[in-house]
Amino acid sequence: MQYDNDTQLSLNLWGQSALTSHLQIEKLSIPDAEIIFYPNYFTEEESDEILQRLFIEVNWRQDKIKCYGKEIDLPRLTAWYGDTGKSYTYSNIAMNPIPWTPVLLFIKDRVEETAQISFNSVLINLYRNGKDSISWHSDDEPELGKYPIIYSVSFGGERKLKFRHKFNKILDKLELNLTNGSLLIMKDKTQEYWQHQIPKTSKPVMPRINLTFRVIK
């Protein structure tokens, strides 16, 4: 796959409306959470085009975190887009959103067909290879309110998402393969009781872009 600026994108993303009722859907029955997974929310054709466009068009940034007093690069690139005035603090990093772009609005519209609510921001992560990751955390920042509704879409290389219960250590860890074009929904008490991570992998893996649509109060 090529990611240069001259790439001609053949698929017309605009004006497409999807009926989501035919889609394969998996509802995970685990305690203290509501997690729903659509493995093929976007078609392969759509997903490939979206991946290329995001790769080229997103204004990626390399953030740093403090680790034992040292500044180190976050193991992924990130970007924050959304309605103006909805700033957000994530891992102690203050982010001001960049205005929505056409491809982001296309994805947001499609996701909102299922969500039936309107999202005002999206955090985007680029996992360049298997060394990129996100460590155990919950999406429980105060700006997201008591029961955050997170719609998470994935494009590109398949990665594992792991869940662990914060308090009940007897419960098994849960593992999901986040496929190209998938949609994962986390709502109700999920963030209060569970943490999630994308671990590093030594297997060769294509770049992956994940978008988590959120409502900042």
The nearer residue to ligand AKG, 104 or 161, going by C-beta atoms, is 161
Alpha-helix runs per DSSP H in the chain: 44-57, 102-115, 190-193
User: Does the footprint of ligand AKG cover residue 161 (CB under 6 A)?
Assistant: yes
CB of 76 to Mn ion, least distance (A): 12
Q: What are phi and psi of 9, to 5 degrees?
A: -100, 120
CB nearer ligand AKG, residue 108 or residue 196: 196
Q: Which of 120, 152, 179, 190 binds ligand AKG (CB under 6 A)?
A: 152
Quick one: which of 128, 130, 112 has its CA closest to 120? 112
139 binds Mn ion per the rule CB under 5 A: yes
Nearest to 122 by CA among 130, 111, 113: 111
Cα–Cα nearest to 195, from 141, 138, 151, 142: 138
Sole binder of ligand AKG in the list 121, 125, 179, 182 (CB under 6 A): 125
Question: DSSP 3-state assignment of 80?
Answer: strand
Contact flag: residue 154 with Mn ion (CB under 5 A)? no
Block residue for tokens 């994962």: 184
Q: Is residue 139 close enough to count as binding ligand AKG by CB under 6 A?
A: yes
Does 176 interact with Mn ion (rule: CB under 5 A)? no
Cβ atoms within 10 Å of 168's Cβ, excluding its own: 11
Instruction: Write down the least CB distance from residue 152 to Mn ion, Å.
Output: 7
Cβ closer to Mn ion: 48 or 139? Answer: 139
Interaction between residue 49 and Mn ion (CB under 5 A): no
Of 176, 210, 213, 215, the one binding ligand AKG by CB under 6 A: 210
Q: Helical H runs in 58-214?
A: 102-115, 190-193
Considering the complex, state which of residue 7 and residue 162 has its C-beta at the smaller distance from ligand AKG.
Answer: 162
DSSP letters of 124-173?
Answer: EEEE-STT--EEEE----GGG-SS--EEEEEEES-EEEEEEESS-TTSPP
Q: Which of 107, 123, 149, 216 touches ligand AKG (CB under 6 A)?
A: 123
| Phi and psi at residue 107, to the nearest 5° | -65, -45
Q: Which residues bind Mn ion (CB under 5 A)?
A: 139
Q: Which residues bind ligand AKG (CB under 6 A)?
A: 123, 125, 134, 139, 152, 154, 161, 178, 196, 198, 210, 212
